[in-house]
């Protein structure tokens, strides 16, 4: 878990191994690396510090000799847990070291941890990422909004529980354009729609509840429901989206009362549920007493033609809780999303949100309100739709040239993703790592379905055409190489 952001200074008169020794000594002596802290491997440290391994070894040897570090059973190096001076032998170590393994909430999947870390690194081509390239984000308009905000007096106080009224009204109007009838009172502002899922998981469901969802699903890549002690039940998809025939049976078999679906430009498959399927889904939900969370993260990002209406717009019973976000179009760093649903449910979620963070950043809320009500959002969408179309077509063309004989895919009509099914056998973990070694970051299919062994989620939203031109052939070569090794070994 250590992730030092320091590097030795090659121009200093102090030898590099001495600088490293001092750096680690300070970390230990000031409690930033307390007793029991596991150090990264020699290899990882040499990469992090940008030095060769013998230099790392020299520094660690000094530290071990002075009693600050010691070997652990696994052959790694840890900060020494015993007392340094006999006189302090009554000291008991703080709990943190075990605690980090003991906490209730699941850690992120290791691959996601790596992705989160590497996304901030420079020189990496992000070929699986779930956000728009900075070149598609409206930097200029954003600055205009800030300039406008800098000219008005604002509320710097704690936010209101459901979010600032102007933003809730803007969201209600925005939803109305998609046929969703909602008043400001049935809108809750959240810090990104991920937070909505977290609030729902601890706010509306008993421990042990079962949640139905598509398989693969974005839900498998996060732990919102699982960490709250809930179980995901994956349902099969076809080209029209979630298959509804098995819905009632699954709901009954697992006593599930909630379905999470991402019907439009589904993450990760890119598929969109047909209108007919939407009607069937609602009918089945009515018959089996299922409530629905509809994740509308990508709804606006159609490329070829408008998708069918949101489930929420077809719902007059308050059966659907709808989540939306500004992350996929305007700015992910703003952290503004929303939930639209029955007022008593929204009130309950707002109450829990107040207990978790006392509401979302007012500055973000104001910026979002101004953006949505300025009308700039619509114009911006027109712009990014056409850019996403170019990018999608470019990636499809590259896939056609370099993957035709080793993979299959559908053409998505919106959103960010192409879901590649490899038709040769390649271990996904090895593929992820081999790609990363060549500076390509991608999202393996098993993040979205634990049993998946053959999919990759590629994204045309982030990498530039030039980056795709380099990365797709490189990826193709890696797949072929690994497939060959795999064939030879079996």
Residues 72-111 that bind ligand PLP (CB under 6 A): none
- The distance from CA 47 to its chain's CA centroid, rounded to whole angstroms, is 26
Residues 199-238 that bind ligand PLP (CB under 6 A): 218
Per the DSSP assignment, residues forming a β-bridge with 444 are 456
Given candidates 19, 162, 325, 413, which one binds ligand PLP under the rule CB under 6 A? 325
Q: Which does 262 bind (CB under 5 to 8 A by kind): ligand PLP, a copy of itself, none?
A: ligand PLP
Given candidates 25, 237, 342, 439, which one binds a copy of itself under the rule CB under 8 A? 342
Per the DSSP assignment, residues forming a β-bridge with 187 are 340
Per the DSSP assignment, residues forming a β-bridge with 82 are none
Length of the chain, in residues: 490
Residue window 265-284: x/- pattern of binding to ligand PLP, with contact defined by CB under 6 A: --x-----------------
Residues in Cβ contact with 135 at an 8 Å cutoff, skipping those fewer than 6 apart = 464
Given candidates 186, 213, 262, 476, which one binds ligand PLP under the rule CB under 6 A? 262
Of the listed pieces 45-53, 67-75, 199-207, 448-456, which binds a copy of itself according to CB under 8 A? 199-207
Given candidates 10, 11, 13, 30, which one binds a copy of itself under the rule CB under 8 A? 30
- Residue 453 CB, shortest distance to a copy of itself, in Å, is 25
Please choose, from the candidates 64, 45, 58, the residue with its C-alpha nearest in 3D space to the C-alpha of residue 7: 45
- Residue 121 CB, shortest distance to a copy of itself, in Å, is 10
Choice between 63 and 463, CB closer to ligand PLP? 463
Residues in Cβ contact with 312 at an 8 Å cutoff, skipping those fewer than 6 apart = 175, 180, 294, 296, 320, 322, 340
Cα(288)–Cα(250) distance, integer angstroms: 10
Question: How many residues of this chain interact with ligand PLP, rule: CB under 6 A?
Answer: 14
Cα(188)–Cα(167) distance, integer angstroms: 10
- Residue 424 CB, shortest distance to a copy of itself, in Å, is 33
Choice between 4 and 332, CB closer to ligand PLP? 332
Of the listed pieces 187-195, 226-234, 240-248, 454-462, which binds ligand PLP according to CB under 6 A? 187-195
Please say whether the beta carbons of 254 and 233 come within 8 A: yes
Token output for 468: 């795709």
Please choose, from the candidates 249, 281, 276, the residue with its C-alpha nearest in 3D space to the C-alpha of residue 262: 281
Cα(124)–Cα(383) distance, integer angstroms: 26
> Does the protein bind ligand PLP through residue 337 (CB under 6 A)?
yes
> Does the protein bind a copy of itself through residue 65 (CB under 8 A)?
no
> Does the protein bind ligand PLP through residue 295 (CB under 6 A)?
yes
Quickly tell me which residue has 């990498």 as its tokens: 463
Terminal C-alpha separation, the chain: 35
Of the listed pieces 158-166, 298-306, 385-393, 418-426, which binds a copy of itself according to CB under 8 A? 158-166
- Residue 197 CB, shortest distance to ligand PLP, in Å, is 7
Q: Which does 363 bind (CB under 5 to 8 A by kind): ligand PLP, a copy of itself, none?
A: a copy of itself
> Which residue has the CB atom at the shortest distance from ligand PLP?
192
- Residue 166 CB, shortest distance to a copy of itself, in Å, is 12
> Does the protein bind a copy of itself through residue 174 (CB under 8 A)?
no
> Does the protein bind a copy of itself through residue 173 (CB under 8 A)?
no
Q: Which does 490 bind (CB under 5 to 8 A by kind): ligand PLP, a copy of itself, none?
A: none
Q: Which does 218 bind (CB under 5 to 8 A by kind): ligand PLP, a copy of itself, none?
A: ligand PLP
Residues 176-195 that bind a copy of itself (CB under 8 A): 181-186, 191-192, 194-195
- Residue 357 CB, shortest distance to ligand PLP, in Å, is 7
Of the listed pieces 52-60, 137-145, 264-272, 415-423, which binds a copy of itself according to CB under 8 A? 137-145
CA dihedral for 247, 253, 255, 256, sign (positive or negative): negative
Which long-range contacts link 66-69 to residues 24+ away (Cβ below 8 Å)?
A: 66/25, 68/24, 68/25, 68/28, 69/24, 69/28, 69/39
Residues 106-125 that bind a copy of itself (CB under 8 A): 106-108, 113, 116-117, 119-120
Q: What is the DSSP string of 431-470?
A: HHHHHHHTTEE-EEGGGT-TT--SEEEEESSSS-HHHHHH
Given candidates 64, 114, 166, 227, which one binds a copy of itself under the rule CB under 8 A? 227
Q: What is the DSSP string of 54-99?
A: HHHHHHHHHHHHTTSEEE-TTS-EEE--S-SSGGGTTPPPPTHHHH
């Amino acid at each position: 878990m250590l992730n030092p952001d320091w590097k030795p200074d090659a121009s200093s008169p102090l030898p590099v191994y001495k600088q490293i020794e001092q750096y680690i000594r300070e970390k230990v002596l000031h409690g930033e690396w307390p007793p029991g802290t596991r150090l990264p491997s020699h290899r990882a440290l040499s990469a992090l510090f940008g030095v060769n391994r013998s230099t790392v070894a020299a520094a660690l040897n000094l530290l071990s000799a002075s009693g600050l570090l010691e070997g652990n059973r696994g052959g790694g190096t840890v900060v020494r847990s015993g007392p340094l001076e006999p006189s302090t032998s009554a000291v008991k170590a703080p709990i943190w070291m075990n605690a980090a393994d003991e906490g209730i909430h699941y850690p992120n999947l290791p691959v996601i941890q790596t992705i989160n870390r590497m996304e901030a690194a420079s020189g990496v081509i992000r070929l699986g990422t779930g956000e728009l390239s900075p070149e598609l984000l409206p930097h200029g308009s954003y600055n205009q909004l800030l300039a406008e905000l800098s000219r008005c007096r604002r509320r710097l106080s704690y936010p209101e529980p459901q979010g600032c009224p102007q933003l809730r009204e803007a969201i209600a109007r925005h939803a109305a354009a998609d046929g969703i009838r909602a008043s400001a009172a049935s809108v809750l502002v959240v810090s990104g729609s991920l937070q909505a899922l977290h609030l729902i998981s601890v706010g509306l469901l008993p421990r042990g509840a079962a949640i139905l969802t598509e398989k693969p699903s974005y839900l498998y890549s996060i732990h919102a429901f699982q960490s709250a002690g809930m179980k995901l039940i994956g349902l099969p998809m076809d080209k029209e989206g979630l298959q509804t025939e098995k819905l009632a049976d699954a709901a009954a078999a697992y006593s599930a009362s909630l379905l999470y679906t991402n019907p439009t430009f589904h993450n990760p498959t890119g598929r969109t549920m047909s209108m007919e399927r939407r009607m069937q889904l609602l009918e089945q939900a009515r018959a089996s007493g299922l409530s629905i969370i509809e994740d509308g993260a990508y709804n606006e990002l159609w490329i070829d033609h408008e998708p069918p209406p949101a489930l929420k717009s077809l719902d007059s019973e308050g059966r659907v809780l709808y989540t939306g976000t500004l992350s996929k179009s305007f700015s992910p760093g703003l952290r503004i999303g929303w939930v639209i649903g029955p007022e008593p449910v929204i009130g309950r979620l707002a109450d829990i949100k107040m207990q978790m963070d006392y509401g979302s950043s007012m500055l973000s809320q104001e910026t979002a309100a101004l953006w949505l009500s300025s009308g700039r959002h619509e114009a911006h969408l027109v712009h990014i739709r056409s850019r996403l179309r170019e990018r999608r077509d470019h990636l499809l063309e590259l896939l056609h040239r370099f993957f035709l004989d080793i993979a299959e895919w559908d053409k998505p009509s919106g959103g960010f993703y192409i879901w590649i099914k490899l038709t040769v056998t390649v271990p996904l973990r090895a593929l992820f790592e081999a790609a990363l070694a060549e500076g390509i970051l991608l999202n393996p299919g098993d993040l979205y379905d634990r049993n998946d062994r053959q999919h990759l989620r590629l994204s045309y939203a982030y990498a530039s055409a030039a980056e795709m031109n380099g990365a797709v052939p490189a990826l193709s070569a890696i797949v072929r190489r690994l497939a060959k090794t795999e064939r030879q070994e079996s």
